[in-house]
Amino acid sequence: SAPYPIGVTTITWTATDGAGLTDQCTQTITVYPAYRLTLSIFLQGPFNSSTELMNPDLSSNGQVPLSQPYNTAPWNYATADAVTSLDNDIVDWLLIELREDDMITTHARKAGLLHADGSVTVSFYGLVTEGEEYYVVVWHRNHIPVMSDEMISIPITGQFLDMTTLDACYGTKPMIQLTSSIYGMIAGEVIPDGQLKYSGSYNDRGAILARLLDEGGTFVSDTEEDGYRSADVNMNNE
């Protein structure tokens, strides 16, 4: 089941028999979203191999926005997915896409918050049909996107998908090894064009240097703190 419910309600009821004896019981009802998809997935940038968790440095420093950041090109996801507050272990927003095939036929998309333990839950209520199967694509603003190796269905009771292993994702080398048993999304795609480039036209390294210059830096060794920047590829707020 999803580790992050949308509501918890406690009720107390009393039962009385014909002899006048009573007993009281308190129950907790946990409510989860319908047609939810829960993923386990890691980002290389903030991953800490000693803890096997991701460092939530951006959130700790107040840089993660309350609204999803994928309303610009190339994602153009204009839906106003937002929250009123962030948990302390939030790493960043992800964009979760369902595809009807392994090419580009998008069926639905939802933005969700990624936790330090690699979990993210989104609800596709009203967007999916019971029994239909979809490929799952995961986008992040400065990591190479990945797609599930197989199609899955999302029933009303929810579905879980582990995307921390190499064979769980589509392609030859879709992820990078983070520990002996954990793989994650590849960091460094500052320019979100599906390519990770060190040199040549539209290379990601140049975009990082350009950002430093824009912020007033003059040398490669300069740093800038505080900000929600795609050029911050290890997502440590620097």
- What is the pLDDT at residue 2? 44
Cβ–Cβ under 8 Å, residues 86 and 66: yes
Strands (DSSP E) contained in the chain are 7-16, 22-31, 36-40, 47-48, 53-54, 90-99, 106-115, 119-123, 133-140, 143-147, 152-153, 159-162, 176-177, 183-184
Cα–Cα dist 128/65, whole Å: 28
Residue whose token pair is 């400065």:
142
- What is the pLDDT at residue 5? 58
pLDDT tens digits, the chain, 238 residues: what are they?
A: 344 555 677 888 888 887 878 888 888 877 766 899 999 999 999 999 999 999 999 999 999 999 999 999 999 999 989 999 999 999 999 999 999 987 788 999 999 999 999 999 999 999 999 899 999 999 999 999 999 999 999 999 899 999 999 999 999 999 999 999 999 999 999 999 988 999 998 999 988 888 888 888 777 777 888 999 999 999 999 9
Q: Which two tokens stand for residue 154?
A: 């999302």
Cβ–Cβ under 8 Å, residues 129 and 49: no
- What is the pLDDT at residue 139? 98
- What is the pLDDT at residue 156? 92
Q: Number of helices and strands (H, E) in the chain? A: 2, 14
In what helix (H) or strand (E) does residue 58 lie, and over which residues does it extend? helix 57-60
- What is the pLDDT at residue 32? 66
